[in-house]
Amino acid sequence: MKNASLLVVFNLITHLIFSQIQPIGSWRNHLSFSKIISVDTFNNKIIAGSNNGYFLFDPLKNEITTRTSINGLSDVSIRVFSKQPNGTNFLVAYENGNIDIINNGVTRNLPDIFLSKLTPEKTINAISWYNNLAFLSTNFGVVVVNPSKFEVVDTYFPSSIGGLIGVYQVAIVGSKIYAATENGIFSANYLPATLHDFRTWSPEWTPFPNNYITSILQWGEALIAKRGDSLYSKIYDNWNLFYPSNKTIHGITTSGNNLFVAETLNQVGNILSFTMPTSKPQFIQSLSITKANSIISDGANLWIADDSNGLIKINNGAEQKIIPNGPAGIAKGLADFQKDVIAIPASEANAVNNSFINNQVYVFKEDQWKSYTPKIFSSLSSHADFNSVAIDPSSTTLYVGTLGTGLLSIDKDNKFNSFGAIKGGLQVDRSSLTSCKIGGLSFDNEMNLWMTNPNTDAPVVVKKKDGGWNNFIIPFSIEKNMLSKILVDSENRKWISTSNGKGLICFDDNNTIDQKNDDRWRYFLQGTGQGNLPSSNVLSMAEDQSGAIWVGTDRGIGIIQCGADLFSAAKCDASLPVVQQDNFAGLLLANEVVNDIKVDGADRKWVATKNGVWLLSADGQKVVYRFTNTNSKLLSNQVFSIVVHATTGEVFFMTAAGICSFRSTATRALEEIKKPFVFPNPVPSGYTGAIAIKELPNNAWVKITELDGRLVYQTRSLGGQAIWNGKNYKGERVNSGAYLIIVSNQDNTDQVAGKIFFIK
């Protein structure tokens, strides 16, 4: 109970840090710190590195400070994180070979390996230190970096014939340097001026096969080498079997005089602590340890970087987990937003096969993430991958579609309820009688839950508000009835995509679910007269504020706006809009794979693709924003889905490298005019960002005046929010003082006023 309460404290601190309203135009990351790859001490704090960033934990203040690509790092996807022993430098090596050097909180990028033309393979496997130099073991050799001078000092190719060679790790013991390579251990006298010459290196003789040595390190006067699940030691030129394990040795590390050996068996980890080569080890076991990637001792506590349980502290048998708040993993599914709650499944929305590793869903509420995973809720371990979600607007009960175990509901008290095959409702997969798959979920205006049930005889299913079920046979020949996503529009019509490139279906039950003789169906494909979609491979759908349906395909976007002619094939085809960008005009995103489309409070369209994100004007004819991972803080150009937080205007992007968000300029408009909310207020001295005036009606007039009524600035709201840059109509920064904000609706029949205080 004590440990649990401490974890709550840490999460609360993180909440206080991040729950502040984000400035307009700012980014933030929502990343998992469950996997910690490195742990060390720094200025009486604990520093923990993960694949997504690092955090500093202050044990005295119980404070967590996180650093990611938003606030301190220059790249994403960390492979190695290492601190200089007895120094202040940190090296961060990324998957692409890029390097950051951090000193006293200041980050400098060293892109030499990343930009090198030597080889396309630039993986950095490990970092070792000697005489304040960092030895980077890479897939092409050893790169020596002087972090104090921010420069690459040398490159070594330890082999018998020279040339590029994969190096796993380097260690320096006494007067010799050792390199564990793909061809075994090579050694040389440590004479830096000669090591770039491969002829100074020679194969290390060992009494055991000199291959598959994946880790070596210096421990006092000994060299320790890991081969498979056995450890060997070399002391004074003598090799000996040091420790054979009957478990899987996950890793070895040193801290002070201790050698720590991390073992795992059946996903349960333990640690052996050796104080000298001839001593018996201390056995350290904890239910929290899965795989220990790094271990240090600060004298009183043992700190463990665990592969899935974050940073673990052990003190005299008592243990606690320290994990900054965030989703537990990567989210690839289609998100839903209702009542200020966001839910995102882990599996891809267009996935058709189950792996039993993505049976997770992440919920964002009140600026905190909550993860539903089998590790946290053991009853979820029997469920298939989660690929779709829908939040009941009336109760905020979360419904989750799976790729094999039917439908799952999660209420506000974390109670789970499963729904499988039932007569007249969900059916089992025709190719696997033990599998019940759902492709997509969506609520209609009457709180009936609609879903697709692919590869069944009646693949459109509804769970009615009263708890009853019904299903529908589609009147079209689609291979295996492979239906995927479903969208219920404002007229209660169901728009259904296929997962095998067979077009788009529109279904209208005329609000008579149990009466099927009045149902209407329409099938949209590529080609004039058949629906005129840009492609029959439909990947996404969205309804805008005018009722038009925007259809995303693997070849751009089509717009369906047919009114009463919707079910007339002769009269209703999708239009293919032309967009203007950089003095060129062309079909809307004609060469892009459109994974998702979302509409914000100003009726603008956010579009997720494999090449980043677009924000399009309401009519789709102009590009407002174009975000990539090179021109913005977008984590990855591979964007699976988007969700717009209608209240705050924050737009969340689910990418291949994790979740990030951007505070946009548009929020959901209010129906009635009321006193506006202004942020920041007061405006501090030196603030140059956008000032948000929110909780407005759509397209409202917003006037900034001095107290005597003289006009300073005038604009109109985008959705429910207007933006002011703090300048008057001449472009001059306004003086310190109080200003009136007068808001009126479009026809000026109603208005309210508020105040903003400005400190120049």
Kindly write down the DSSP assignment for every residue of 232-276, as one continuous string: EEEETTEEEEEEE-SSEEEEEEEETTEEEEEEEETTEEEEEEESS
Which of 495, 499, 470 has its CA nearest to residue 387? 499
Has residue 32 got a pLDDT over 80?
Answer: yes
Whole-model pTM: value is 0.89
* CA pair distance 553, 594, nearest whole angstrom: 5
pLDDT (mean) for 470-483 = 96
Q: Which two tokens stand for residue 496?
A: 């259904």
Has residue 682 got a pLDDT over 90?
Answer: no
What's the topology of domain 524-668? Methylamine Dehydrogenase; Chain H (2.130.10)
- Beta carbons of 319 and 286 less than 8 angstroms apart: yes
* Residue 747, pLDDT score: 67
Has residue 133 got a pLDDT over 50?
Answer: yes
* CA pair distance 486, 9, nearest whole angstrom: 40
* Residue 483, pLDDT score: 96
Q: Which two tokens stand for residue 466?
A: 């009263």
* Residue 601, pLDDT score: 92
* CA pair distance 606, 337, nearest whole angstrom: 15
Instruction: Check residues 85 and 278 and name the one with the higher pLDDT.
Output: 85
On average, the pLDDT of the chain sits at: 91
pLDDT (mean) for 388-394 = 96
Beta bridge partners of 542: 550
* Residue 748, pLDDT score: 67
Has residue 8 got a pLDDT over 70?
Answer: no
Has residue 18 got a pLDDT over 60?
Answer: no
* Residue 668, pLDDT score: 82
- Tell me whether domains 524-668 and 677-758 share a fold: no
Q: Which two tokens stand for residue 51?
A: 């694949």
φ and ψ at residue 123, rounded to 5 degrees: -70, 130
Q: In whole angstroms, how far apart are CA 395 and each of 445, 462, 647?
A: 14, 18, 18
* Residue 581, pLDDT score: 66
Write the pLDDT tens digit of every residue in 589-601: 998 999 999 999 9
Has residue 300 got a pLDDT over 60?
Answer: yes
* CA pair distance 203, 533, nearest whole angstrom: 64
pLDDT (mean) for 396-402 = 97
Residue 379: pLDDT band by 50, 70, 90 thresholds? very high
Q: Is 343 exposed, middle or buried (0-12, 13-18, 19+ CB in 10 A)?
A: buried
What's the topology of domain 325-514? Methylamine Dehydrogenase; Chain H (2.130.10)
pLDDT (mean) for 622-630 = 94
pLDDT (mean) for 2-8 = 37
pLDDT (mean) for 46-69 = 95
* Residue 337, pLDDT score: 96
Contacts by 624-633, CB closer than 8 A, 24 or more apart: 626/581, 627/653, 627/662, 629/76, 632/27, 632/662, 633/27, 633/29, 633/69, 633/70, 633/660, 633/662
Has residue 675 got a pLDDT over 50?
Answer: yes
CATH 2.30.42.10 for domain 677-758: no
φ and ψ at residue 681, rounded to 5 degrees: -155, 110
Which of 576, 579, 583 has its CA nearest to residue 623? 579
Sign of CA dihedral 642, 381, 312, 78: negative
pLDDT (mean) for 665-680 = 81
pLDDT (mean) for 708-731 = 87
Q: Does residue 680 have a cis bond before it (omega within 30 degrees)?
A: yes
Write the pLDDT tens digit of every residue in 194-222: 999 999 999 999 988 888 899 999 999 99
66-70, 606-610, 695-699: lowest mean pLDDT where? 695-699
* Residue 749, pLDDT score: 63
pLDDT (mean) for 170-182 = 96
Phi-psi region of 532 (alpha: psi -120 to 50; beta: other; left: phi over 0): left
Q: Which of 63-77, 559-573, 731-745 has the highest mean pLDDT?
A: 63-77
Has residue 1 got a pLDDT over 80?
Answer: no
Which of 706, 686, 702 has its CA nearest to residue 694? 702
The domain spans of the chain are: 325-514, 524-668, 677-758
Has residue 580 got a pLDDT over 80?
Answer: no
pLDDT (mean) for 19-43 = 88
Residue 9: pLDDT band by 50, 70, 90 thresholds? very low
